[in-house]
Chains A and B, each alone.
Chain A
């Protein structure tokens, strides 16, 4: 592995992507509009 130039960047990139991705999702989910959620989650039950 050490033979690959610039390999150290891989784990750093991975961790960064991960961190921000999940922070983003959690932020988005918390901020979601309740009325909208109610509407969408009842979609399967509509006749």
Chain B
């Protein structure tokens, strides 16, 4: 009786059971590693429990099969009969367990997915937050850098413009709508005669001429700016300065003028030089004309005088005709004096130049004129420098200069006063000052006093050639003469009444040590 041997099936059962146990535990090992690696992962947790159940099932079933084969095929079927129900029961129970674990898996998975979704969102939000924080940090860092750069640039710019403001030799100012200066540079402060920034100073009040102020305000308020306005400015020390002004209006956000800013160039020196130049040219042209006239008149005058003197001998000295001829002679001589003065003014007369001491010249003139001055209650004050250097000049003509100046001073002090004569060395020049305490010279005629025939005296009391001749003589000696009225006292800084003529003559330094008195 032959049949189908069960050996192959039993062998597969035996080996398969062992392999099943082995593989189930390998899977369990990986599941455990997964759980350890990521303890919070629900899926790994599920697989862990699933593998436990599978391993238990594999053990239960595999061991059951192996034990059955061993016992049954070794005549211990009775033992197996005892164990068999337990093995089957375990197998059943563990299969149900695996099923139960699987069935409940989806619930956990849903929860896990929900949590995971939220966690992913949170992670994404955190990531975004971190990115934003990083971006913010970068921006902050950049911002700090930008602020630092801008601050540095601003500081440099501020320093540059502050230096420009402070070091400018022109007046730079800022003022409010009413003209109250809010900021002004050092040059401006000095120009206005202050030593430090004053508490309150109104720029509009510095205008000497109200018409110029009106022009300034009118233009700047209508056009928003004023350009190259010639301004006559009266400083704190009452000195007049000529300023070439350019200014702009400062507007508020609403477009209203809230103040002004401007730059002014001090043109005083240039103006004085220009005036002197004009004056010089004028005097030169007048001198040329005077010389021409004098030459032309001099000859007929000489003839008239000569014939008059000849005719005087022809008439009886007691006769009326003789007296008439004397009048003609006298007036002709007066005309010759005028012509002579004109020639002196135009430097056409001859000069005999030598080394002379100006102090001596003045003393000689005073020896003649002081008596008359004293009669007119005029006191002469001498402030001579005993070490005054010599000058090269014509003594006769220099006598004429001081006679003219003393005469003028006397005329200006009809009720008496003082003539203060000062001589001193000023660098390479001799400075002579003749100051009186008289009525002074009006500002409007100051520029004309050296013009020929200009006089403030009554008709017949002066020819108007005195100062012209003086000017001509000083020019001939290579010097300058200027007038100051009223006079600033260099010691007190006060303004004194009267007039001062300042003469500068080139000093002859080489002979200074030998001939100084």
Do A and B actually bind? no
Interface residues of A (CB under 8 A from B): none
